């Protein structure tokens, strides 16, 4: 058995599936590039058949990523497999198609309405069909942890015979427990005759808060690929947080068979921040490894202990996961070359034109705040590059509000060179601004979520606002904006959501109804 554990990141597929986390192409590309710097072995870039946007994202990431394998998801149907193969073409022999088909009694009876024999036939045919396009096929028996163990073993054997290189065992609904999952993986290792011809992978959801423990139990049992997301984002309670699994394996190797891992752990914090910023899903302060408080010691006893000997209260070195590596901040006196160099260090691959627009915004921000920290700069990048050409741009915001005054906002927008202005009253300045934007853009958005987050330290930090707005499309649209003024940041975020909704409404969406025929 190889001693390397491969990491498979599905932040851009399962992670992006969680309500409110949708990312556009630029954001996905930025996440994918950072995953590669982190050393992810496989990047699942999307579900190509589900929409033109997903197809384009997988296709672009397959072109841009040069080291990691790039994977596309497909149901066990010909049209999905063809779409994945087409989207992945630029990745050449680094392309992987991930085919899934449910195998639990519940799913077979109520969702697929298929008997075991049909499932076995479809699985074999699906893998063989995928194999006609790419060498690397991963197969997932969906809801594996609730599948009859003997049938699961039969499915695994069948797909390996058909050519699957990786067999992934998903705990789709986060139901299993560490002992049980250990037993499932051991059962497969001991009872599937051809098991050594494929890598066993695991994919744990966190409904019972057991995803990390379950993934680690599976590694102990012999699984050699772990799938998950950074920050644990994903459907419902999320997927396993890969940074936690990675650091558990690094910190307690003797507990998990001293497996090898090729992850550049110093990139973890940066990756977490990029994912949080791009997905709009903020990280809880006390979250292990990447939360703001993960290495903060406030009690005097702890601080004293740490000063004498770090190991007294820290089980890992914060520097090893990328904390404490901040460079000197930029100021309004920093020139374009310095800003460009810092952008490159931060991993933003921007065109000259994009650097110009970031620099223009940087100068404005530099006038209103003394230091521009790395996180401020990343927020500026995110904000400046959000604008969609040909759509609405913010010209100005003005508002009057206070505890005894009815809030009134006036907003100026620009579209195709033409200026528009309107005002509205509202329940606070932000509400008034959103209403004024609706009046100009003739949209009627219903705000489903609103959050504000300080990009860096200090009272003058850039405020990053994320909104989730229902415009009557298939799902709420996420918008983001940043400014030292949170009301302006709110206007930018809402406008960003309006622009995204316009783009989304133009895109044809493929049906997601499952038609399980091959
Ligand atoms: O949770 C799940 O079962 C999945 C599969 C597609 C692997 O995400
Ligand atoms: Zn999943």
Mean pLDDT score across all residues of the chain: 91
Q: For atom 8 of ligand 1, which residue has the closest CA?
A: 14
pLDDT tens across 167-179, in order? 999 999 999 999 9
The predicted-structure confidence for 350-380, as pLDDT tens digits, reads as follows 899 999 999 998 998 888 878 888 888 888 8
Q: Can you tell me the mean pLDDT for 493-503? A: 88
pLDDT band at 314 (very low <50, low <70, confident <90, very high): confident
Q: Which pLDDT score is estimated for 223? A: 98
d(CA 231, CA 261): 19
Helices (H) and strands (E) in the chain, counts: 16, 14
Question: pLDDT digits over 184-195, tens only?
Answer: 999 999 999 999
- Residue nearest atom 3 in ligand 1 by C-alpha distance: 172
Residue nearest ligand 1's atom 2 by CA: 172
Enumerate the β-bridge partners of residue 25.
none
Give φ, ψ of 306 to 5 degrees.
-60, -40
Whether the per-residue pLDDT at 296 is higher than 90: the answer is no
| pLDDT-based confidence at residue 515 (cuts at 50, 70, 90) | very low
Q: Is 208 exposed, middle or buried (0-12, 13-18, 19+ CB in 10 A)?
A: middle
Calculate the alpha carbon distances from 58 to 85, 405, 469 in Å: 10, 50, 26
Ligand nearest to the Cα of 233, by number: 2
**Residue pair 343/426 in contact by the 8 Å Cβ criterion:** no
Return the pLDDT at 298: 60
The arithmetic mean of pLDDT across residues 457-464, rounded, is 80
**In which residue are the tokens 């672009």 written?**
60
Assigned token pair, 367? 């006038």
Q: What is the pTM of this model?
A: 0.85
pLDDT tens digits, residue range 218-249? 999 999 999 999 999 998 999 999 999 999 99
Mean pLDDT across 12-24:
85
Can you give the pLDDT at residue 387? 57
User: For tokens 């991930």, what's the residue?
Assistant: 98
Q: Are 429 and 398 in contact (CB under 8 A)?
A: no
Q: Which residues line ligand 1 (CB under 6 A)?
A: 14, 100, 140, 142, 168, 170, 172, 203, 205
Report the nearest atom of ligand 1 relative to the CA of 142: 3
């Amino acid at each position: 058995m190889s001693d390397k554990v491969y990491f498979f990141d599905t932040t851009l597929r399962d992670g992006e599936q969680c309500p409110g986390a949708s990312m556009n192409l630029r954001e996905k590309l930025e996440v994918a590039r950072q995953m590669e710097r982190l050393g992810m072995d496989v990047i699942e870039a999307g579900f190509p058949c589900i929409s033109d946007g997903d197809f384009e994202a997988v296709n672009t990431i397959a072109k841009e990523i040069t080291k990691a394998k790039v994977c596309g998801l497909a149901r066990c149907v010909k049209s999905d497999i063809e779409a994945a193969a087409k989207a992945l073409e630029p990745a050449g022999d680094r392309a992987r198609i991930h085919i899934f088909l449910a195998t639990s009694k519940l799913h077979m009876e109520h969702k697929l309405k298929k008997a075991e024999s049909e499932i076995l036939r479809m699985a074999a045919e699906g893998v063989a069909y995928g194999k006609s396009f790419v060498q690397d096929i991963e197969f997932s028996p969906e809801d594996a942890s609730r599948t009859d163990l003997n049938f699961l073993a039969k499915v695994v054997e069948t797909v390996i015979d058909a050519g699957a290189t990786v067999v992934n065992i998903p705990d789709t609904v986060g139901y299993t427990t560490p002992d049980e999952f250990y037993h499932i993986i051991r059962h497969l290792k001991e009872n599937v005759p051809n098991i050594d011809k494929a890598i066993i992978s695991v994919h744990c959801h966190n409904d019972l808060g057991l995803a990390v423990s379950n993934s680690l139990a599976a590694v102990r049992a012999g699984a050699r690929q772990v799938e998950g997301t950074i920050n644990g984002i994903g459907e419902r309670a999320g997927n396993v947080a890969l940074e936690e699994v990675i650091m558990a394996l690094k910190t307690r190797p003797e507990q998990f068979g001293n497996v090898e891992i090729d992850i550049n752990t110093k990139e973890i914090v940066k990756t977490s921040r990029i994912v949080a910023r791009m997905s709009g899903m903020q990280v809880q302060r006390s979250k292990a490894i990447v939360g703001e408080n993960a290495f903060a010691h406030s009690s005097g006893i702890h601080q004293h202990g740490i000063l004498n000997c770090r190991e007294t209260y820290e089980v890992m070195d914060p520097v090893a996961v990328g904390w404490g590596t901040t460079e000197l901040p930029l100021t309004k006196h920093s020139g374009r070359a310095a800003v460009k160099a810092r952008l490159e260090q931060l991993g933003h691959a921007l065109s000259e034109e994009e650097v110009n627009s970031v620099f223009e915004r940087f100068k404005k921000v530099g006038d209103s705040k003394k230091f521009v920290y790395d996180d401020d700069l990343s927020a500026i990048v995110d904000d400046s590059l959000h604008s969609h050409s040909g759509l609405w741009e913010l010209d100005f915001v003005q508002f009057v509000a206070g505890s005894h005054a009815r809030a009134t906002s006036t907003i100026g927008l620009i579209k195709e060179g033409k200026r528009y202005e309107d005002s509205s009253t509202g329940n606070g300045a932000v509400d008034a601004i959103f209403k004024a934007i609706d009046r100009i853009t003739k949209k009627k958005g219903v705000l489903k979520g609103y959050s504000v987050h300080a990009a860096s330290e200090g009272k003058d930090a850039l405020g990053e606002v994320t909104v989730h707005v229902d415009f009557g499309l298939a799902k709420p649209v996420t918008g983001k904006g940043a400014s030292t003024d949170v009301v302006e940041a709110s206007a930018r975020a809402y406008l960003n959501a309006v622009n995204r909704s316009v783009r989304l409404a133009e895109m044809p969406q493929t049906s997601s109804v499952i038609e399980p025929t091959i």
